[in-house]
Amino acid sequence: MNTSLDLDVLAEDNVRTLKVPSQTFHEPPSVILVGYPGAGKTFLVEKLKEEVPLTAFSEKDLTSFLAPRATLLERDAVEVFQLAVKTIEHLLLKGKACIYDGNIKTREQRELVKKVVEDVGGRYLLIFISTPKEICYSRVQKQNLSVGRGESKGFILDKDLFEYEVATTKLPPTEENHYNFDGQTQESLIRTILYIRSLLKTI
């Protein structure tokens, strides 16, 4: 990937490719996620999009946008993260609430996103998807079978790569003031939807 990317231009180009709801907000929330592969990040994003006027974009989409033939090990390239942050910034400056379907692995990365969000007048929300590792891996195995049979698109995430993703994901401590979604129950999903709706109503 090119290390001299004009991220502002790329972010604006990226925003034009997104499905952006018409609603704008004075203090638009930006939702970011942390959780192991298979935790339910994409599931949560899809459900929230049905219920809340959020602009959603994903790590997978940004990787394809920057490098269509990128391999699995390039998914968390610096440029992908930088473009994600810049896209969030551009959406918030337009008054658009947004959610990023990607695993923000480290506290340092999350603090950087938080600063950008707050500097442009947005409201930062970190959701930790606390699905147990064993359930995550079971889901990953099912997805691998689906990809292998050609029934769905995506990467094959073998055991070693799954363990690498787990090892490099630093779960948020209590002081990061995150919201918890258990990644499994309808009750937790409904609570999460209602919580984000409440943020939109109170800003």
pLDDT per position as a tens digit, 51-89: 999 999 999 888 888 776 455 444 447 888 999 999 999
Per-residue pLDDT of the chain (203 residues; tens, 9 = 90+): 445 678 899 999 999 999 999 999 999 999 999 999 999 999 999 999 999 999 999 998 888 887 764 554 444 478 889 999 999 999 999 999 999 999 999 999 999 999 999 999 999 999 999 999 999 999 999 988 988 787 777 778 889 999 999 999 999 999 999 999 999 999 999 999 999 999 986 55
pLDDT for res 9: 93
With b for 16 or more beta-carbon neighbours within 10 A and e for fewer, the 69-103 pattern comes to ebeeeebbbebbbbbbbbbbbbbbeeebbbbbbbb
Task: Please write down the long-range contacts of 170-178, taking CB distance under 8 Å and 24 or more positions apart.
Answer: 170/105, 170/106, 170/107, 171/34, 171/128, 172/34, 172/107, 172/110, 172/126, 172/128, 173/107, 176/107, 176/110, 176/126, 177/126, 178/34, 178/126, 178/127, 178/128
| Domain definitions of the chain by residue range | 7-202
CATH 3.20.20.140 fits 7-202, yes or no: no
On whether the CB atoms of residues 101 and 57 are closer than 8 A, the answer is yes
On whether the CB atoms of residues 53 and 25 are closer than 8 A, the answer is no
